[in-house]
Amino acid sequence: MNDAASSASISPRLEQSLARMGNELAQGLVPLWIYNDGDLHLAEQDRIFGQQWIFMAHETEIPDPGDFIVRSIVDDRFIIVRGDDGEVRVLFDSCRHRGASVCQGERGCVKAFVCPYHGWSYRNTGELHSVPNGQVAFKTLDKEAWGLRPAPRVENYAGLIFASLDDSVAPLVDHIGDYRWYLDLHLKLSPGGMEVIGEPHRWYLDTNWKSGSENFSGDSYHTQSLHKSVVTMGLSSPAAAGASGGGNDLHITECNGHATSIRRKDPGVRHFWGYPEDVSQHFKMEGLSDSQKDLAERSVVHTGTIFPNLSLIHIGLMDAPGKPECAYLSLRQWNPVSPSRTEVRSWVLAPKEASEEYKAQAYKVATATFSVSGNFEQDDSIAWAGVARSAGGQFARKQGLMLNYQMGLEHMSDARVLKDWDGPGVAYDSNLEEGVQRTFFNHWHRAMTRPEREHVA
Ligand code: FES
Ligand SMILES: [Fe+2]
């Protein structure tokens, strides 16, 4: 990150509010206004989205040379492209002549990007290839210096491509940290790994991006209420989205700033999120420990958030009552557009070795459940819109309204830390606790208040 960007300042009023939040968070309190505030939105752009690792794409979206897709980090639009040399690059979609966008489509396969304004063309590696009338008008132009500008850092973990706008950010593996123990359960089940099925869906919500991130950290509490109709209609088993508090539930908190909520079957029960045997027979789980294998085998549903805005849900659901469950992994991203508007993108993934029929059904079930038209998604989006609406006015601020994130604090619920848990992070023996969401906000708070250029891994 250049000095101008890293030194972007925020108002003394906002600094004071953020400073107060340390104490408030320790008590399980989160001020309502942070879900819709213009100054905070700008500060998050600098201190979070300008400095952290941000998910851009899955490598199976661009398998061949020339394949590209377009994604944004807040307002910055990037082309994620596999060059003719096989390398994946994340290129800022802005012509070096006058700044026009050089890529008009959302995805495709090209040899070159040609700027529509004056016709400069760039190879799919980002290099400047030619400029019209170059022999007479740009005789001494150093083409090597005028290629599309790449994101300063791009790294890949198990097929997940991340970029950072900060060239001094710690390596991606340090950012994911011990959370790899849980992430690997989803990405390394079969030798071929997971593959993106069909088009990712994209839509907009009238909400703040943090509502998605904190919910998917593990808000198990809302399913029995907000999603009750889905269970009642027979579109989800109570085990996957029903009542909370079973003895096989886990909440993993404070795992490098990331969190996850897990529901398991009893010991010894082979379930694998509901994948049928002809899919799960491919789960060799190479490189996973016995504890990870046991957890994967007993898994019913996982949700989680990798800070700041990449969430996941791995679950078995159906697209019509009475039909068999179909398991899939959905990655979803909450990209802030404004303080009260979020661009959501949702990817459906299935094990590479699964049949084409299975993948087609997984995409259909995911579309019916966790997508713009999905029944779960519709429920969530209505609740979250209310959060941003109530946060954006004068009342929340003037009253100093606090939200209650206290479930699971020592004095508040029966949830207890599992002292003998084999995995990383702090594990609770119940999903009736909100340490998962406090994890998100603690990390958010560290990122928003840390001294300049001191990175939170
Ligand atoms: S702005 Fe792209 S060629 Fe002029
Ligand atoms: Fe939900």
Q: Check if the beta carbon of residue 181 is closer than 8 Å to that of residue 423.
A: yes
- Whole-angstrom CA distances from 321 to 92, 231, 235, 317 are 46, 10, 5, 10
450 lines ligand 1 (CB under 6 A): no
Ligand 1 probe mutation, 113, 117, 141, most atoms within 8 A of CB: 117
Consecutive 10-residue averages of pLDDT for the chain (457 residues): 51 94 97 97 96 98 98 98 98 98 97 98 98 97 98 98 97 98 98 96 97 97 90 80 75 98 95 97 98 97 98 94 93 98 98 98 95 90 96 97 96 92 96 96 95 53
User: Can you tell me the distance from the alpha carbon of 33 to that of 20, in angstroms, rounded to the nearest whole number?
Assistant: 13
The confidence score (pLDDT) of residue 244 equals 65
Strand partners, 122: 113, 128
Structure tokens at 322: 């009475």
CA–CA distance, 71 with 90 (Å, rounded to integer): 9
Candidates 222, 236, 203, 201; CA nearest to 330 is: 201
pLDDT of residue 417: 95
Q: Which atom of ligand 1 is nearest to the CA of 120?
A: 3
Give the chain's end-to-end CA distance (angstroms, integer): 16
> Which of these, 322, 323, 325, 254, lies nearest to 314 by C-alpha position?
325
Ion ligand 2 nearby residues (CB, 5 A): 380
In this structure, the residue with its CA closest to atom 3 of ligand 1 is 118
Neighbour-count burial for 63-88, b at 16+ CB within 10 Å, e otherwise? eebbbbbbbbbbebebbbbbbeeeeb
Q: Which helix (H) or strand (E) holds 181?
A: helix 180-187
115 lines ligand 1 (CB under 6 A): yes
Provide the pLDDT for residue 10: 83
pTM > 0.75: yes or no: yes
Residue 213: predicted pLDDT: 98
CATH of 177-449 among 3.90.380.10, 2.102.10.10, 3.30.565.10, 3.40.720.10: 3.90.380.10
Q: How far is the CA of 117 from the centre of ligand 1 (A)?
A: 5
Predicted confidence at residue 6, as pLDDT, reads 43
Domain spans, the chain: 55-157, 177-449
CA 166–ligand 1 middle distance (angstroms): 26
Q: Which residue lies with its CA nearest to atom 4 of ligand 1?
A: 118
CA–CA separation, 311 and 304 (whole Å): 6
Going from the C-alpha of 229 to that of each of 226, 235, 242, 318, 375, the distances in angstroms are: 8, 9, 10, 14, 9
At the fourth CATH level, the homologous superfamily of domain 55-157 is: Rieske [2Fe-2S] iron-sulphur domain (2.102.10.10)
Q: Ligand 1 pocket check: which of 91, 94, 97, 146 to mutate, most ligand atoms within 8 Å of Cβ?
A: 97
Whose tokens are 């989006």? That residue is: 381
**Whole-number pLDDT of residue 1:** 41
Distance 377 CA to ligand 2 centre (A): 7
- Residue 118 Cβ contacting ligand 1 at under 6 Å: yes
CA distance 95 to 93: 7
